[in-house]
Structure 1
Amino acid sequence: MYVEDTIAAISTAAGEGGVGIVRVSGPDAPSIAHRVFRRGFNGDFESHRFYYGSVIDTVTGEVVDEAMAVLMVRPRSYTREDVLEIQCHGGYLVTRRVLELVLAAGARLAEPGEFTRRAFLNGRIDLVQAEAVIDVIRAKTGAALALAQHQRQGRLSQRLDTVMAELRQALALVEAFIDFPEDDIDPAAQDALTVHVRKAAEMVEELIAGFDEGRVLREGVAVLIAGKPNVGKSSLLNTLLQEKRAIVTSVPGTTRDIIEEVVNIRGLPLRMIDTAGIRETEDIVEKEGVRLTLEKIPEADLVLLVVDGSRPLDEDDRMILAALAGKRLILVENKCDLPRAVQIPDELALMPRVMVSTSRGDGIDELKEAIFQTFIHGAAIDSREYVAVSRVRHRDLLSRSTMHLAAFEQGLASGFTLELLAVELRDALAAVGEVTGETTPDDILDVIFDRFCIGK
């Protein structure tokens, strides 16, 4: 439950830095500013103006640090409450000391995500925008950041508002006829009702269809590099990274452990996983590496199956194919600078295939494009208009809404009572409202905001 008290926390990352920020929000923020911050003159703080001065220990009169302070008077602040920010030097000890003085002056320590939660509860942002704040902080690529910023700015919320407007129009029509049971729904009213519901359903289905792309932009994907020893798996990783990360030798079985690195391909964050070559071996260490590789396969969103294009496939290649049954694959023929000797079996004929030479860099751009197109199907993810659902919570709630809308249309066609039809519309509306926070239970809010860091 929201209590209008005053909270405080360090809003900058722990450790050393040029600046550390202690944030305060609540009705006591102005009085705390006067108590702990000394300027060269008396009088009130002018809102949204920075002041230079010192943070003072109110008990000893000691100067704790030289600092800047700004007071943002409600409602023109992040939380729509009075907000004080003190910018001091960014050392761990000095920021903790400033925070302690603020707490002693009447604030309490904020809980994780409590500043953003107050912004939501005070109506400055909705729940989609609140969740996007943490995505902005955690974004690993420019495209992931752009998607998060679009959601934070309210573009996804605007789409959902349009959906809810259509559902409210439909519900109003149904309830009007419930209030006048002597009147039957005339064909024109039924057609209008159907139009509103289908518009809403189409918009929701479009958002659900974009979920896979939105999710991979936000979370990234795991791409496993698999193949038998000495086909160029580690060389491929190094080429994609443009640095020597994995050891490469002519000795088969060099890679015996799992190597993971992040690669950015056109804004898509990829967690590249280089693995031990899969083959039958008596070497105890290499055998353990093969075991780890087989354990990693189920976790991968995509497998790059690397084969040596200058040699025919053998039993080791076929053993790997059996281990990868059912996985999403791209076949990578390495060593295309050498005479080609590999024969692709029929079961691999329809698999996406790219020919590369890790020694010369041939085909690497084509491989990157094939990986990108596996997950992003022609969407202009760098567009200012790009909007996508990127959280499982949102997808599941929107899917629940479509189920109720489908039940409504079926019930309307089957002559169900208006009361039953209204229930389906209310449930569909509630599901969309739970995405934006209008109908979200408190326990779900607790789970969402507990994922935030303290100070945000």
Structure 2
Amino acid sequence: MNVDTIAAIATAVGESGIAVIRISGPHAVEAAARFVRSRQDLRQAPSHTVHYSHIVEAGSGEAIEEALVTVMRGPRSFTAEDVVEISTHGGIVAVKRVLELLLASGDIRLAEPGEFTKRAFLNGRIDLSQAEAIMDLIRSKSDRAFSVALKQVEGALSKKIGTLRHRLIELLAHIEVNIDYPEHDVTEMTGAYIKDTSREVSDEIERLLKTANEGKILREGIMTAIVGRPNVGKSSLLNALSQSNKAIVTDIPGTTRDVIEEYVTVNGIPLRLLDTAGIRETTDVVERIGVERSRGALSEADLVLLVLNSAEPLQEDDRTLLRLAADRQTIVILNKTDLPAALDERELADYVPESAIVRMSIAEERGMERLARAISDLFFSGAIESGDMTYVSNVRHIALLKQSIQALSDAVEATEAGIPIDIVQIDVRRAWELLGEIVGDTAGDSLIDQIFSQFCLGK
């Protein structure tokens, strides 16, 4: 653990009302005080107080900015160290001048990405799963994803993992006693205890893993490809879902030449929408490239929204798309229902069930609620669980939970095979260590460095 003092801009750089520079470390208050002129000496300031100040050159005393300076003394701070936050005007020049002034002193260095949160973790302020949830909180793309991340920041997942690890450490203690004092051991009772506890913990982990698919969707969004022939209403659907004019809409087929991406939220579910070029045979070189990219987006999508024109008979290009989407989660949108119907819906029965068909008039904004319900039914069995549900959404956590189930399964199999309990103990301890990696208790330095390197600077 470094004991030097670090600083970084904690807000997005750009024009805004204020910008915040965060300083943390054992000499944060003393180092900042040399550049802060206020009514009270910053070094004597009580914790959690805010001071109207001017930021001045250390040598000349010339004021370069006015600011509000907040003092938070450890351990009652985010990093559990002394922290000073300088709130300057939000222009790029103002915040940059203050940061450069602080770094030029030689007592403060620029923080690495995620270093403030890393210090909070290393100082015991939060565990590793809570630290990762902070980035999920920042990156959340829907209210529901934000709520899930906030619960994890508050320690909902940590508490569950802590309870499971406590059960396993009790089991390990029981095994250790029986290894040390075999004369008091009843082999049948110890074997039954190992199997019962291992299975109970495995069942609890399985219940957590059942939320993994929904959690991952809430965290990352559903990659959704909007596909169809040219001029069936794909770009209009993108604009309707995003409530903006993101895509150009004309009556000219082939207007969309490339894949357009947009994040939207439908019934609390984040969708990463990909509006693709109309898929058809074409001699236009640029359009052909767009068509190939559309095929690629279709093959990678978690959800395919296949738009058909209900006012035209089913075309061969439509049938090709229906076949291409056969192995994906697909919702067929029959658009332009405000016009006389010409498409025979019985032809769709060979490709998709009736429940996967949504009738819409995008131009008249009819059918959007039906589409939202169809997406919810497809991915969440109609609804997302209530707010007290703890979701597992992190890929690293999911992998560790699966490995811990395997370790406990190995322990049960070894016990049933009559293998000595000191060997069985290895599998139980392995499960305990894997769960510990989730919260950081048994995580190695290289893993910790890798996780925090993905954080933004200043967090």
TM range (shorter): over 0.9
**DSSP-derived class of the 2:364 partner:** coil
Which is further off, 136-145 or 242-251? 242-251
Partner of 2:372: 368
Confirm whether residue 415 of structure 1 aligns to residue 418 of structure 2: yes
Measure the CA separation in 1 of the matches of 2:238 and 2:21. Answer: 42
Question: What whole-Å deviation, never above 9, does each CA across 1:307-331 have from its counterpart, x for those lacking one?
Answer: 2223332321222223334222111
- Do the aligned residues in 1 keep the contact of 2:48 with 2:72 (CA within 8 Å)? yes
Measure the CA separation in 1 of the matches of 2:227 and 2:250. Answer: 17
Percent identity for Structure 1 against Structure 2 = 43
Partner of 2:128: 127
Q: Kindly state the Cα deviation for residue 266 of structure 1 after the two structures are TM-superposed.
A: 2.0
- Do the aligned residues in 2 keep the contact of 1:173 with 1:193 (CA within 8 Å)? no
**DSSP-derived class of the 2:183 partner:** coil
List aligned pairs for 1:138-153, cutoff 5 A.
138-153=139-154
Q: Kindly state the Cα deviation for residue 133 of structure 1 after the two structures are TM-superposed.
A: 1.0
- Do the aligned residues in 1 keep the contact of 2:9 with 2:99 (CA within 8 Å)? yes
Q: Kindly state the Cα deviation for residue 131 of structure 1 after the two structures are TM-superposed.
A: 0.7
Partner of 2:341: 339
Q: Which amino acid aligns with 1:141?
A: S
**DSSP-derived class of the 1:359 partner:** helix
Partner of 1:356: 360
Measure the CA separation in 1 of the matches of 2:288 and 2:227. Answer: 15
Measure the CA separation in 2 of the matches of 1:332 and 1:441. Answer: 49
Q: Kindly state the Cα deviation for residue 176 of structure 1 after the two structures are TM-superposed.
A: 1.5
TM-score, normalisation: structure 2:
0.93
RMSD: 1.9
Partner of 2:224: 223
Partner of 2:392: 389
Aligned residues: 454
Q: Which amino acid aligns with 2:18?
A: V
**1:219–1:404 CA distance, 2 compared to 1 (3 A):** same
Confirm whether residue 445 of structure 1 aligns to residue 448 of structure 2: yes
**DSSP-derived class of the 1:66 partner:** strand
List aligned pairs for 1:266-281, cutoff 5 A.
266-281=267-282
Q: Kindly state the Cα deviation for residue 409 of structure 1 after the two structures are TM-superposed.
A: 0.9
Which is further off, 437-446 or 291-300? 291-300
- Do the aligned residues in 2 keep the contact of 1:380 with 1:386 (CA within 8 Å)? no
Q: Which amino acid aligns with 2:389?
A: Y
**1:234–1:430 CA distance, 2 compared to 1 (3 A):** same
- Do the aligned residues in 2 keep the contact of 1:9 with 1:24 (CA within 8 Å)? yes
- Do the aligned residues in 1 keep the contact of 2:175 with 2:190 (CA within 8 Å)? no
Q: Kindly state the Cα deviation for residue 31 of structure 1 after the two structures are TM-superposed.
A: 1.2
Partner of 2:85: 85
**1:379–1:130 CA distance, 2 compared to 1 (3 A):** farther
List aligned pairs for 1:27-46, cutoff 5 A.
27-42=26-41, 44-46=44-46
Q: Kindly state the Cα deviation for residue 172 of structure 1 after the two structures are TM-superposed.
A: 1.4
Q: Which amino acid aligns with 1:241?
A: S
Measure the CA separation in 2 of the matches of 1:25 and 1:364. Answer: 49
Q: Which amino acid aligns with 1:76?
A: R
Residue segments in structure 2 that go unaligned for 5+ positions in a row: none
- Do the aligned residues in 1 keep the contact of 2:323 with 2:351 (CA within 8 Å)? no
**1:344–1:362 CA distance, 2 compared to 1 (3 A):** farther
**DSSP-derived class of the 1:224 partner:** strand
Partner of 1:288: 289
List aligned pairs for 1:23-422, cutoff 5 A.
23-42=22-41, 44-103=44-103, 104=105, 106-337=107-338, 338-339=340-341, 341-342=343-344, 343-350=346-353, 352-378=356-382, 380-381=384-385, 383-422=386-425
Q: Kindly state the Cα deviation for residue 164 of structure 1 after the two structures are TM-superposed.
A: 0.7
**DSSP-derived class of the 1:263 partner:** strand
Q: Kindly state the Cα deviation for residue 402 of structure 1 after the two structures are TM-superposed.
A: 0.4
